[in-house]
Chains A and B, each alone.
Chain A
Amino acid sequence: MPAPTAPSVPDSDAIRCDACPVLCYIKPGRAGSCDRYANANGQLVRVDPHVILDHALSEGDSLVPFLDQTREWDGNIVHGSETFVTAIGAGTTYPDYKPAPFIISSQVQGVDMVTVVTEGIFSYCGVKVKIDTDRHLGPETSTVRAQGEAVGHVTTSEYGSQMLSLGGVRHLTGGSRKEGTVTCETLLNLCEKKPVELSVDGGATVLVQAGQPPVVDGFREERMRVGCGSATIGMFAKQWHGKVDEVVVVDDHITGVLSEHQAGKLLGVAPTGIRVKGRRSTPGRYFRVAEPGTAWGGTNIDDPLSILEPFNPKIAWPKLRLLMVSTTGEHRAYFELDEALRPVEQDLPNVLSESVARIKENCEPALSTVLFMGGAGGSLRAGVTENPVRLTHSVRDTLTRVTCGGAPVYVWPGGGITFMVDVSRMPNNAFGYVPTPALVAPIEFTLKREDYAGLGGHMDHVRSLDSLAQREGRRHLKAHPENPWPLSPAALKRTNQ
């Protein structure tokens, strides 16, 4: 008695989950076939296995030997102070005004602590990406795109690095639907330490992955510059002295010239009659010798001689030895002047290749780093306490420690709880998203039990760590070795790392 086949037309209130190829339609209040993603009031939320960090005693014995001596057997196999319940997979009660999904009590060295654990839905959030490269990624304020959609912009560059500011509410919800979706996906992938290709309007295409070297226009960046061109002259002048007559360190920011530079003068380096294009700042220091680019020292030049004017014939001499090098030692060329005082390229003498190698050696590995930045909104705070502003005050007063998947955060001064966290210190799969679009990120607030009561906490929802032991779907992870332990005594005093 075969019956008609199932209608696969989506209901108007069902949402489609695209977390896996099953592509379930999920009705409000229901979970998909995986039981991991659910429709909470029209938003796709994760109900994933709940991540719990275990203080890696077996790995860190030498670091925390005192624990075994001072700790008294309390009859528990799981010691409260060594198990931290993260918010990853905890779910959220947003937008309901009700207590956070988990409010866990534990005892740390005789002090009763409470950790309020929730996943926040952040439509006001973004990532700050620091890309260690001198290569020019694009003019400041240029639009940064992923899959052709605007997801952010180039912001002010920092020493040795280019900075991108991605996401934020305008790209997430202020533009087209596609812009929002692509922005959300881009943020999620960056936060999950996955590679993302970004292109800058009027600039470069860069492959960014947290903790990995950036790839700029197909070129994998290996090292950060040792310093600007002028600083490089300062650092290496002594090593060059006597082995070469002139050194030009090509740099998009400040190009340095040994014979004119203070460091050269102090060593008694003779003038060479060199003439460098660009705007002279102070002796031996030149701004804008070329346009920014992805070639020599973050400029657009492939031929270093193009930044030089002819040598002054009254000062220069035939056979004058000239080294040109970039701030990372990646580009270098050696010239000697001919009878007409024209530079002629020669092999780099061994005595000079050592110093070039040393520039390289002193450059730190170039990385892309990703900081997630979000603000805990009023309703999220309401899940922690009946009087949300008191939580803000408590965080300000460093009575409450904020962590993100167990990782330390920096809480920005001023109003609200706006925090930044290095995604590389968070467990994998810590982030999720909802189709708003917005990111789902874990957030934990840890404070003394008495303080929690004092700020109007949901005391009747506090439960013991042991009660979680009975819960299915826990994922136990070893704590990140570089993170301060969220429940450590130092945590009681300070919030910001």
Chain B
Amino acid sequence: MRAQIQLLPDGRRLHLHDGPIDLVVEAFGTPNAIDCAYRAASARFANVLDELCRELPLLRQPPTDPPEGRIARSMYAAVLPYTPNYFITPMAAVAGAVAEEVLLAITSAVLLARAYVNNGGDIALHLTPGESFATGMIDNPSRESFFGTVTLDFSQPARGIATSGWRGRSFSRGIADAVTVLADRASQADAAATIIANAVDLPGHPAITRVPACFLSPDSDLGPRLVTQGVGRLTSEEIAAALSAGAIVARSLVSARLIHSAVLHLSGETQLADASTHVGARALACPPGKICAFPAPGSPFHA
């Protein structure tokens, strides 16, 4: 079998790896329940990559006909609301959709107080009354300090967290260091983070290095579209302008009830986008940034 599945050295979290997918799963419950959860996650994970690759050409195109696979359909559904106004393919939601699917496999198999599936910063959460999750955020994956946390409890509707930015693993057409989004589902958060991060931009700015995506990665779903490869020094006015361009898009998504809230981060500046009285204002304890990929001391949430 190609997939590699093992417990991380802490003996608590499960690491599932296959091709480009790396999931970190943690379930909280009795040893039996955790065992059952990890078995369910492993069983579901075994076919995930093959399932996706079967429909890869379709998933790399803007949505037209719905795909077949369950994960592919979540991806499709997550990006569909954006198709009239934006270029987006179902691949923009792949990480969140995979996290969601594996979490579903776990929660269908066993009752747990809480659990999460973290797919490289795109996270699907399971919470029960009285439970909460805190997530650290960083703005640059190569630095490990984080400067904000997201705390979600059962009373809040969001069960998906996703982050997009030009420094991340996927290409971004914008210049945001990180846009973190809370949405009902991880796939929805994933798609929205992509859209908002693309909108944090200063079109035509000379300090921004842009390269056609296909020059870097010939089979990128972005084809010849320019993606950001470097951001030089920006004035504070430019930073504010780029962030507000992104915030306008973010607020429109909040109004359309596609997401709960978003936090946009660029060159050390942060802007929160929600309905200002929205639940997200409480959830995103700032200053926020990228979902942390490293453990916060004492934090229950790390990957």
Q: Which residues of A contact B (CB under 8 A)?
A: 1-11, 14, 19-27, 30, 32-35, 429, 470, 476
Across-interface contacts of B169 in A (CB, < 8 A): 33, 35
| Chain B 208-219 interface 0/1 with A at a Cβ cutoff of 8 Å (1 = within) | 000001111111
- Distance to closest chain A CB from B206 (angstroms): 24
**From B87, which residue of chain A is reached at the shortest CB distance?**
A3
Contact B216–A4 (Cβ < 8 Å): no
Chosen A-B contacts, 19 in total, with CB atoms closer than 8 Å, are A1-B87, A2-B83, A2-B87, A3-B87, A6-B214, A6-B219, A6-B222, A7-B214, A7-B218, A7-B224, A8-B219, A10-B219, A21-B53, A24-B217, A25-B218, A32-B20, A34-B20, A429-B4, A476-B9
Bound CA–CA A14/B217 (angstroms)? 9
**From A473, which residue of chain B is reached at the shortest CB distance?**
B22
Given A2-B62, A6-B219, the answer on whether A22 and B49 have CB atoms closer than 8 Å is yes
Contact A34–B19 (Cβ < 8 Å): yes
Bound CA–CA A21/B219 (angstroms)? 13
B153 within 8 A of A: no
B57 within 8 A of A: yes
Bound CA–CA A4/B214 (angstroms)? 13
Bound CA–CA A32/B2 (angstroms)? 17
Contact B217–A5 (Cβ < 8 Å): no
Q: Choose among A4, A5, A20, A25 the residue that contacts B20 (Cβ–Cβ < 8 A).
A: A20
| Additional A-B contacts beyond A5-B62, A20-B19 (8; CB < 8 A) | A3-B87, A7-B214, A7-B218, A8-B57, A8-B60, A10-B219, A21-B53, A470-B144
Contact A11–B218 (Cβ < 8 Å): yes
Interface of A is mostly: loop
**From B86, which residue of chain A is reached at the shortest CB distance?**
A1
- Distance to closest chain A CB from B157 (angstroms): 31
Q: Choose among A4, A11, A20 the residue that contacts B49 (Cβ–Cβ < 8 A).
A: A20
Using a CB-CB cutoff of 8 Å, which residues 155-194 of chain B contact chain A? 169
- Distance to closest chain B CB from A443 (angstroms): 23
Across-interface contacts of A22 in B (CB, < 8 A): 19-20, 49, 53, 56
**From A14, which residue of chain B is reached at the shortest CB distance?**
B218
Q: Choose among B49, B50, B223 the residue that contacts A6 (Cβ–Cβ < 8 A).
A: B223
Given A24-B217, A32-B20, A34-B19, the answer on whether A5 and B50 have CB atoms closer than 8 Å is no
**From A4, which residue of chain B is reached at the shortest CB distance?**
B223
Across-interface contacts of B217 in A (CB, < 8 A): 24-27, 30, 33
In this complex, how many residues of chain B approach chain A with their Cβ under 8 Å: the count is 33
Contact A3–B218 (Cβ < 8 Å): no
B225 within 8 A of A: yes
B221 within 8 A of A: yes
Contact B18–A25 (Cβ < 8 Å): no
B61 within 8 A of A: yes
Contact A10–B2 (Cβ < 8 Å): no
Contact A7–B49 (Cβ < 8 Å): no
A-B residue pairs, 7 tightest by C-beta: A20-B19, A6-B223, A21-B53, A34-B20, A25-B218, A33-B20, A2-B62
| Chain B 38-57 interface 0/1 with A at a Cβ cutoff of 8 Å (1 = within) | 00000000000110010011
Bound CA–CA A165/B61 (angstroms)? 49
- Distance to closest chain A CB from B77 (angstroms): 18
B132 within 8 A of A: no
Across-interface contacts of A19 in B (CB, < 8 A): 19
B220 within 8 A of A: yes
**From B56, which residue of chain A is reached at the shortest CB distance?**
A22
- Distance to closest chain B CB from A41 (angstroms): 17
Bound CA–CA A406/B166 (angstroms)? 38
Across-interface contacts of B222 in A (CB, < 8 A): 6
Across-interface contacts of B2 in A (CB, < 8 A): 20
Bound CA–CA A3/B2 (angstroms)? 35
**From A6, which residue of chain B is reached at the shortest CB distance?**
B223
**From A22, which residue of chain B is reached at the shortest CB distance?**
B19
Contact A8–B218 (Cβ < 8 Å): yes
Q: Choose among A6, A11, A34 the residue that contacts B221 (Cβ–Cβ < 8 A).
A: A6
Across-interface contacts of A1 in B (CB, < 8 A): 85-87
Contact A6–B20 (Cβ < 8 Å): no
**From B213, which residue of chain A is reached at the shortest CB distance?**
A6
| Chain B 56-78 interface 0/1 with A at a Cβ cutoff of 8 Å (1 = within) | 11001110000000000000000
Bound CA–CA A26/B216 (angstroms)? 8
Contact A7–B53 (Cβ < 8 Å): no
Across-interface contacts of B19 in A (CB, < 8 A): 19-22, 33-34
Across-interface contacts of B60 in A (CB, < 8 A): 5-6, 8
Across-interface contacts of B218 in A (CB, < 8 A): 7-11, 14, 25, 27
- Distance to closest chain B CB from A469 (angstroms): 12
Contact A7–B223 (Cβ < 8 Å): yes
Across-interface contacts of B49 in A (CB, < 8 A): 20-22
Bound CA–CA A65/B85 (angstroms)? 69
Using a CB-CB cutoff of 8 Å, which residues 200-252 of chain B contact chain A? 213-225
